[in-house]
Amino acid sequence: MLMFRQTQARKSILVKIPSLSSAFNVKMTCSYYGNVVNTVSYASKDMAFLLVEYSTENEIIKLKETIRYQSREYLCAVTPLYSYKDLPQTVKLRGGQLQKSYACSAFVAPTEKEMVKKLEETNSISEQMILLYNVLKLPDFNIRLRFYTAEQISFYLSRLFTNISVLPFGSSVNGFGQLGCDLDLLCQIDRVKQSKSDSLSFLTQTLSLNEKNEKKVFLETIGTLMKVFVPGVTNMRKILEARVPIIKFFNTYTNMQCDLSSSNVLASIMSQLLYTYAEFDWCVKPLVCTIRNWARNRSLTKDEPGQWITNFSLTLLIIFYLQTKYIVPCLGTLQDVARHNTSKLQAVNQQPKNEILYQLLYGFFEYYSIFDFKTQAICIQEGCPRQKKSYAPLYIYNPLESTLNVSRNVTTIQLTQLIDNFRNGLHIMLSVKEEDILMCLLNLKKTPEMCNNTPSIQISQKESLNQEMFTEQRNANIL
């Protein structure tokens, strides 16, 4: 998937157009330079753009050799972006068809009122979870713009550095991204050793990016260059004293809030592994989407870093739970998939699954309501609990560096709040009628009469847990 999207981005150009009604004229103009295979027009702020995909990269090269810069009166920075304007003799073509156009609203999630209206269209929790996922997932055009944004930044940096590329990672590529999520970008160094037989080479200034100070200098420099010379980059913020230095900016031309960090190979690998888990079973994405939105609407996760659980750690909790239910394999088994060996994936994926989404959601809340956080740690490498290596309240083994705890930032207070909400989630699923359960979990409905309805989901007495047991078990598992 990653290679396909990168190739797609390299075969594409972005054109600023007068209005969405000019899109077909622009497409016909671009067709003079090569075979146009796909176009998407969209609005961003008060501007309109057309993303044009050619059949080969050679057609992009031909286009660049032909097009000129608008003005030579001022210093002009190199750019992979284009601008189109209607000339006086331009005739608006009619009858032509483009792929779908998107307004600014297509980049943001529906409002709470709109979401409630959509969820009320069905009474089944499983169907509501699938609907929630389908409404919030990143559409194809949004993914294309994310990869194009990365390719655009790569273009500018490649004018200074011969062996650097910018890649998206995180939610944009792992299959769990939702409308409005930030675009996480990292700089990847293409490390090629010089041949011993080469007696002549370029004399250049080098930077390894292995040390934090080097990363800060690098990001400080390219941040300034991007702010001054890259079209569309606004609201630049350099957060260089954080544990992972980043620069934040908004790209008004692709309507993306971006976080750019220096070289981080493990982050890219982890994104690919999560993508494999997301594709492993149909229930993974809707379940992750539901629980992430539940956590955000309950203020358990937040956009800024802090003492609370992150979306990444929460996703690992979900994957670990699914491993205990034999829905997805442990990381050891999944390594073959990451190395493009699908034979074992197909064998595991053929196991029968009797779970449905609402049972998995209930089981998730139940499992972590009584989990022994005091002594046990989460380990998706093995798919079973392991002993904690420290006194951290929440311990989740880093899937790629087993000596690290990815949830070391979570405090005892935040873990207590998390467990309380697991317990509350169970209470809602036991006491609220089925068609209202998801909206109550997401804080979209809070009418008092809901809790007086007889639950329509029948859960055995053995599975149900009373409040006193929850309180006692939670305190024992944390302290």
Alpha helices in 207-356 (DSSP H): 212-229, 265-280, 284-297, 311-324, 331-338, 343-349
Mark whether 91 and 239 lie in a shared domain. yes
**pTM (two decimals):** 0.86
Domain presence at residue 315: yes
The answer to whether residue 167 is domain-embedded is yes
Interacting residues of 100 by C-beta distance below 8 A, sequence separation 6+: 40, 141
Per-residue pLDDT at 395 exceeds 50:
yes
Verify that 42 and 171 share a domain, yes or no: yes
Are residues 98 and 62 part of one domain?
yes
Q: Tell me if 88 is assigned to some domain.
A: yes
Mutual orientation of helices 434-441 and 284-297 as an angle, nearest 10°? Answer: 60
Residues 148, 82 share a domain: yes
Residue 247 has pLDDT above 70, yes or no: yes
The number of folded domains in the chain is 2
Task: Tell me, yes or no, whether 243 and 288 share the same domain.
Answer: no
Whether residue 317 sits in one domain with residue 250: no
More confident residue, 347 or 434: 434
Domain-embedded: residue 48: yes
Residue 208's pLDDT is: 80
Whole-number pLDDT of residue 464: 39
Q: Are residues 331 and 242 in the same domain?
A: no
**Minimal CA–CA distance to 79: which of 198, 187, 231?**
231
Q: Are residues 216 and 303 in the same domain?
A: no
Q: What pLDDT does residue 470 have?
A: 44
Mean pLDDT of 86-107: 63
The tens digit of pLDDT for each residue in 259-273 reads 999 877 888 889 999
Number of C-beta neighbours around residue 260 at 10 A:
22
Q: Check residues 344 and 156 and name the one with the higher pLDDT.
A: 156
Identify whether residues 232 and 292 lie together within a single domain: no
Q: For residue 202, tell me if it sits in a domain.
A: no
pLDDT in tens, 295-322: 999 999 998 888 999 999 999 999 999 9
188: pLDDT confidence band, cut at 50, 70 and 90?
confident
Q: 259: burial class by Cβ within 10 Å (0-12, 13-18, 19+)?
A: middle
Q: How confident is the model at residue 72 (pLDDT cuts 50, 70, 90)?
A: low
Report if residue 82 sits inside a domain: yes
Give the single-character DSSP code of 450: G
Q: Judge whether 64 lies within some domain.
A: yes
Among 239, 265, 291, identify where a domain stops: 265
pLDDT given for residue 478 in this prediction: 54
Taking only the tens place, the pLDDT of each residue in 377-386 is 999 999 999 9
Q: Identify whether residues 252 and 304 lie together within a single domain.
A: no
Tokens (6 digits) for 370: 């009584």
CATH code of residue 158: 3.30.460.10
Shared-domain flag, residues 241 and 310 = no
Alpha-carbon torsion 25, 29, 30, 32, what sign? Answer: positive
Percent of the chain past pLDDT 90, that is, above it, reads: 56
Provide the domain limits for residue 426.
Answer: 280-340+353-442
Output the average pLDDT for the chain: 84
Q: Is residue 241 one of the residues assigned to a domain?
A: yes
Average pLDDT rounded to a whole number, residues 201-227: 87
